Structure 1
Amino acid sequence: MSKIPQLTISSAKVAAILAKARQFDVKDAVTDPEPGSNPSDDAMLSVLEDHRDDPVRGELTAIIRGLNVDEQVDLVTLTWLGRGDGDLDEWDDLRAEAAHAHNRRMAEYLLGMPLLGDYLEEALSQFGHSVEEFEQPL
């Protein structure tokens, strides 16, 4: 294997996005799109559903949009790498393809991937990192 590519996005940022993605991934389909009751009346079940105004979605979108273009391209490339679309030896080709595909809807594109957290974790492991390195002790 050739040497590990240099990332423009820090592994800590990837881990933070991964953690938020995992929170987002566990959301369920919306069962009642217009609940008319008080959230406490429905046992707060709506927090487990994927509503458009979901705060986790908003935070994750803001984090991704807050990255510079190179970081966003790396994030997409890492996602593809973790999904198995290539390996580290093909990093330059994957990254070039991600750079070509870059647009202002990268956050929405990434949030449309149900296993985003898993893909990023797999990619981090290929770079020799584990999620546990970045977890904050309680």
Structure 2
Amino acid sequence: MLEINPQKVVHIIFQSREGPMATAELHEFIAGLNDDEKAHLTALAWVGRGAFEAEDFGEAVATAFAEASTPTEDYLMGMPHLAENLEAGLEAMGVDVSGEEEDFL
């Protein structure tokens, strides 16, 4: 199961959509996550973009831990379509974030 609160993921999705104005805040927010949260966030993005299937989430997390060679915030912020990948990853994992999304609107 997820070791990152879905509300944090929704926060990252909204910050990444705000573009350059939120870059520093987003960078700092991701940097402030613990190692488990960072690995799970990366794995969610990978599931969302189709690199892993939802049923292979554990393997994606293990890979995120094993292959973490650059700061997670730099890696994820360099990923095209980060917000869409995270949304798709949450959906694939069966996480309903409609309540959290309303908090940001």
Q: Same fold (TM over 0.5)?
A: yes
| CA apart distance, 1:94 | 1.1
1:83 aligns with 2:78: no
Q: Which runs of 4+ in 1 moved over 3 A?
A: none
Q: Which amino acid aligns with 1:15?
A: V
Contact 1:121–1:130 (CA under 8 A) maintained in structure 2: no
Q: What is the identity percentage for the equivalent residue pairs of Structure 1 and Structure 2?
A: 34
Q: 2:74 aligns with which of 108, 112, 115?
A: 108
| Aligned counterparts of 1:18 and 1:95: Cα–Cα separation in 2 | 19
User: Residues 113 and 137 (structure 1 numbering): CA distance in 2 closer, same or farther, change over 3 Å?
Assistant: closer
| CA apart distance, 1:76 | 0.4
Match of 2:17 in 1: 22
1:99 aligns with 2:33: no
Q: 1:125 aligns with which of 91, 95, 104?
A: 91
List runs of 5+ in structure 1 lacking aligned partners.
Answer: 1-5, 25-49
| CA apart distance, 1:116 | 0.1
User: Residues 130 and 66 (structure 1 numbering): CA distance in 2 closer, same or farther, change over 3 Å?
Assistant: same
| Aligned counterparts of 2:62 and 2:99: Cα–Cα separation in 1 | 29
Aligned residues, how many?
A: 104
| CA apart distance, 1:128 | 2.3
Q: Which amino acid aligns with 1:126?
A: A
Contact 2:6–2:97 (CA under 8 A) maintained in structure 1: no
Match of 2:24 in 1: 58
List runs of 5+ in structure 2 lacking aligned partners.
Answer: none
Secondary structure at the aligned position of 1:113 is classed as coil
TM-score normalised to structure 2 length? 0.89
More helix per residue: 2
How well do the aligned residues superpose, as a CA RMSD in angstroms? 1.7
Rg larger in 1 or in 2? 1
